[in-house]
Structure 1
Amino acid sequence: MTARPLAGAAMRRICLVATEESGDRLGASLMKVLRQRLGDGVEFSGVGGCGMTREGLASLFPIEELSIVGFAAVLKQLPKILGLIRGTVDAIVAAQPDVLVIIDSPDFTQRVAKRVHARDPEIPIVNYVAPTVWAWRPGRAGAMRGYVDHVLGLLPFEPEAFRRLNGPPCTYVGHPLIEQLASLRPNAAEQARRDADPPVLLVLPGSRRSEVARHIAVFGETLARLRAQNLAFEAVLPTTPHLEAAVRAGVANWPLVPEIVTGESEKRAAFRRARAALAKSGTVTLELALSGVPMVTAYRVGEIEAFILRRVVNVQSVILANLVIGENVIPEFLQEACTADNLAPVLADLLGDGPIRARQVEAFDRLDAIMSTGAASPSVRAADIVLATMRSGRR
């Protein structure tokens, strides 16, 4: 049942800013819970995508205007980006919200938050999705303390990281993937297929065109090595509709052309059947781990980006699932180490019943306890903190 505002109660105004699809999904789920709590007594404004629009937000601009890839492209579009930041700040300050929620996309949202705070320090600010201060640029945590009231972390180790780095208060609210376990875990028939021969091997070269371009050839070489060893398997490559043509062109000369599936439901169905995965590093590693799919990971970037990252990244692993588990159970092969010679032997182990597979399966069994948020969902926990942070009355 939708809540109704008390007679005479003031309308609550909540501004949200999300500029990527993942942030839009988080924002939409948060708005849904806030609407359930506040009923018709809430107004939403700010920046968001289709999901947030469906929940009642009229975005200040289409988030596609910030879909800019590459350093040179960003420089070229910098005047436009700065203009969007100024316009967003002006609109938020004019709206006089009870709280501002910035969601991920720190290059944009942190600049908005700093400027809003400078112009009106009375507006509370909640940062949904903690910036990765635990991985690089740790000084950001202390700087955020000056303008962010509360950080909502998606990973269980983030509150301690912000405490150690003297950042603002941070609460682990839970990763959205833990709300999707039913679509990640196999039923009895899918588990039987996962255990059957030939095993299903997931191939995940990336979700961006540049990532596919960098990984598709070495992934194909890796599968060729496995075939040369007479290992039988069925390869499935989930991708998105806008990358399908590039993927099909990239796998055309593979010795084993994988089944290509598009769409989220088809991807999740493949996860539930798969015995192992060859994956590009990223959030997908946590998705695979929660699905119970052992993996080997790889990652290549451009030489300039690699040069910079080697000097600023300060974590024991770049694999998200390893960081959450707290140990490096998933092998990672980065840059020069990302070769078929390195990837193929690990995949052979994972497709069978080798020790690398056994170690990952045992570690993945602990993830539910590590990532648990108790009875409340991540969206509910996030909404609780947003409501608690809202200022009590209007000026």
Structure 2
Amino acid sequence: MASPRVAILAGELSGDVLGAGLMRELRRRSPGVQFEGIGGPAMAAEGLESLVPMERLSLMGVTEIVRHLPGLLRLRADLARRWREAPPDCFIGVDLPDFNLGLERRLRAAGIPTVHYVSPTIWAWRPGRVKGVRQSVDRMLTLYPFEEKFYAESGVDAVCVGHPAADRYPMQPDTGAARRTLGLAEDATVVALLPGSRSSEIDRLLEPFLGAAALLAQRPDAPDFVIPVAAPRLRERIEAAVARHDIRLRTRLLEGDTATAVTAADVALTASGTATLEVMLAKRPMVVAYRLSPLSYQIIRRLIRVPWVSQPNLLAGEPLVPEYFQSDVDPQILAEAAAYWLDDAPARLQLVGRFRHLHETLARGADARAAEAVLEVLQ
């Protein structure tokens, strides 16, 4: 076909990275392809014509979304109208299912082929959403093998492409190289702090993470701390918080380089979400924490159908790493959990073996597979 025009939409940084990789591979196969929609800096670097800043979609929790719902609905209606009037050859929704699936349903009804990249966790909560998926997408691109099977049994065309992060991370992480990059001693004890990429996550997790770091700094092997800053707008807030906890001289802030931070670390304190996958791929022990508004937590707690939320535990089907929520996100609790991993070498070694096996199941050349799957829909 002639050079396609592709509409694509991602709503947060992890989706921006996925979308950029897919765009890159699509251009390799169809050099004249044009992209328009919503994304972040990575997608912009691949040639996205941005219609709206991605930050308008980067919300967390039920109550936060409800507060911004009128604006989100107007935006979705505007995008649907734009693309119905000037149809792209394909629409790709990257993650963000509560926004993208509704948009995909409208566009598909207008005859526009739709692809959704990253399955919503319908196997974990709100399983009835599979009916909506079936109405909304021509093809679902999943990151995990068990999701492809779930959709096949539900009558949805799905392709497991693997996880792009699994392709980026080496099977054998080079801790020494990462520490040299950061100016850390190769024999240092290092703890990575990953409190999230959204402002609301920083609001709820940064202080307990830094409190735990201050407690760990009292150990005889006082650690160095590394914090990847997900967005420039967050740096000043994080720097001020670090100074309040008097660990400034032991702490390095990085410009979003999560891979180097976790590869250099002995253990990570991390928000639940994509970061837990990256820590797993770096073969590092972790302590997982998450806080939502009380109302969001009560709603989600009643809906969720799986016993864990972190990627390693979900993939393994058992609790490989500890998870803490709401009031349990306490500096003392987090520090003690991190100290366990620092002090128990056999436990660390066993966990690394499990993480390596999980890594092998996910490394499939995801960007290229995803591009081929999209081109099949375009033909």
The TM-score range, normalised by the shorter chain, is: 0.7 to 0.9
Structure 1 residue 291: Cα displacement: 0.9
Between structure 1 and structure 2, the one with the greater Rg is 1
User: Which residue, 114, 128, 133 being the options, matches 2:117?
Assistant: 128
**Alpha-carbon separation, structure 2, partners of 1:35 and 1:233:** 44
Question: Does 1:97 find its partner at 2:93?
Answer: no
Match in the other structure for 1:368:
359
Q: Distance in 2 between matches of 1:369 and 1:91?
A: 42
Query: What's the secondary structure of 1:292's corresponding residue?
Result: coil
**Distance in 2 separating the partners of 1:222 and 1:383:** 42
State the TM-score, normalized to the length of structure 1: 0.83
Does the CA contact (< 8 Å) of 2:286 and 2:321 recur in 1?
Answer: yes
* 1:305 match: 296
Of residues 280-289 and 199-208 in structure 1, the stretch that sits farther from structure 2 once superposed is 199-208
Return the alpha-carbon distance in structure 2 between the equivalents of residues 77 and 211 of structure 1: 17
**Is the counterpart of residue 33 in structure 1 residue 33 in structure 2?**
no
Which segment drifts farther, 213-222 or 315-324? 213-222
Q: Report the equivalent of 1:170.
A: 158
Bigger drift between 139-148 and 350-359 goes to 350-359
Cα 1:289–1:50, aligned 2, differ >3 Å: closer, same or farther? closer
- The runs of 5 or more residues in structure 2 that have no matched partner are none
Aligned-partner Cα distance in 1 for 2:172–2:256: 11
**Partners of 1:352 and 1:92 in 2: CA distance:** 56
1:380 lines up with 2:368 in the alignment:
yes
Q: 2:309 aligns with which of 302, 309, 318?
A: 318
Matched, 1:204 2:211: no
Counterpart among 265, 274, 277 of residue 274 in structure 1: 265
Deviations 1:42-101 (A, max 9, x none): 444444444444444433333344455676665565443333222211222233333222
Partner-residue secondary structure (3-state), 1:202:
strand
Deviation at 1:207, TM superposition (A): 2.3
Classify 1:209/1:370 alpha carbon distance in 2 versus 1 (closer, same or farther; 3 Å): same
Counterpart of 2:9?
17
Deviation at 1:271, TM superposition (A): 2.3
Q: Could you tell me whether the CA contact under 8 Å between 2:212 and 2:331 is conserved in 1?
A: yes
1:330-349 matches, cutoff 5 A: 330-349=321-340
Write the letter of the residue equivalent to 1:214.
R
Q: Distance in 2 between matches of 1:187 and 1:256?
A: 23
TM-score, length-scaled by structure 2 = 0.87
Residue 219 (structure 2) pairs with residue 223 (structure 1): no
Task: Judge conservation of contact 1:184–1:271 (CA < 8 Å) in 2.
Answer: no
The one of 29, 41, 60 equivalent to 2:51 is: 60
1:152 corresponds, among 126, 131, 141, to 141
Aligned partner letter, 1:313: I
Deviation of the 1:380 alpha carbon: 0.9
- Cα distance in 2 for partners of 1:194, 1:360 equals 24
Task: Provide the rounded CA distance (Å) in 1 between the counterparts of 2:256 and 2:97.
Answer: 26
| Structure 2 residue identity aligned to 1:332 | E
Of the structure 1 ranges 179-188 and 169-178, higher mean CA displacement relative to structure 2 is found in 179-188
**Secondary structure at 1:315's aligned position in 2?**
coil
* Counterparts of residues 239-318 of structure 1 (less than 5 Å): 239-240=229-230, 241-254=232-245, 256-257=247-248, 258-265=250-257, 267-318=258-309
1:250 and 1:195, CA in 2 relative to 1: closer, same or farther beyond 3 A?
closer
2:193 aligns to what SS in structure 1? strand
Between 54-63 and 307-316, the greater mean CA deviation after superposition: 54-63
Percent of residue pairs identical: 37
- Contact persistence 2:38–2:54 (CA under 8 A): yes
RMSD: 3.0
Does structure 2 retain, via aligned residues, the 8 Å contact 1:346–1:356? no
